[in-house]
Structure 1
Amino acid sequence: MIKYDKLWSTMRDKGISQYDLSTKYNVNHAQLDRLRHNKNIETNTIDKLCNILHCKVEDIMEHEEDDNAF
């Protein structure tokens, strides 16, 4: 499972809120909801977030093994 828990702490460290993402950077509310619930998102969204936050992929997401992997 891919988890986006690191995204929220990276955003806090960079001083960027969810409101900023939606208003300044045009990240739609549906994408933010998908991130909050660790649902699938497109890689271009991950790329966009990394560019906005000036960070690496591992600063916003991590893989956690789950029982349903196979």
Structure 2
Amino acid sequence: MAVSYNKLWKLMIDKKINKSQLCKKIKISSSTMAKMTNEEMVAMTVLEKICAELECDISDIMEFTDLAEVKKKIHNDNTSPDNGTVNVR
């Protein structure tokens, strides 16, 4: 699933805090911040810490992108190409 943290970067500019300061304040690693910089998923606990520190909601720091592609993948994973039945896992 594609995710964008552009809202977080803008919020950090508004609050005059940089990435290393945020990492230090909420005690996350620089590699976790690097994942976010590369628009990769991170643990919900990380997002929770960010929201608590910046006093905001999760929708203020991130958004999902390309949900149509995710939906397509879900349907392709659950449908058998032979008979169209749903696989139960």
- Scaled to the shorter chain, the TM-score interval is 0.7 to 0.9
User: What runs of 5+ residues in structure 2 fail to find an aligned partner?
Assistant: 74-89
**Distance in 1 between residues matched to 2:6 and 2:53, nearest whole Å:** 17
Q: Which has the larger radius of gyration?
A: 2
User: Which residue of the partner structure matches residue 53 of structure 1?
Assistant: 54
Counterpart Cα distance in 1 of 2:53 and 2:17: 9
Divergent runs of 4+, >6 A: none
Separation in 2, partners of 1:64, 1:40? 12
1:5 alignment partner in structure 2: 6
**Number of positions where the alignment pairs a residue of Structure 1 with one of Structure 2:** 70
2:82 equivalent in structure 1: none
Is 1:38 the counterpart of 2:36? The answer is no
Q: Which runs of 5+ in 1 are unaligned?
A: none
**Retained in 1: the 8 A contact 2:20–2:30?**
no
Contact kept, 8 Å, 2:26 with 2:50, in 1: the verdict is no
1:67 to partner: Cα distance: 6.1
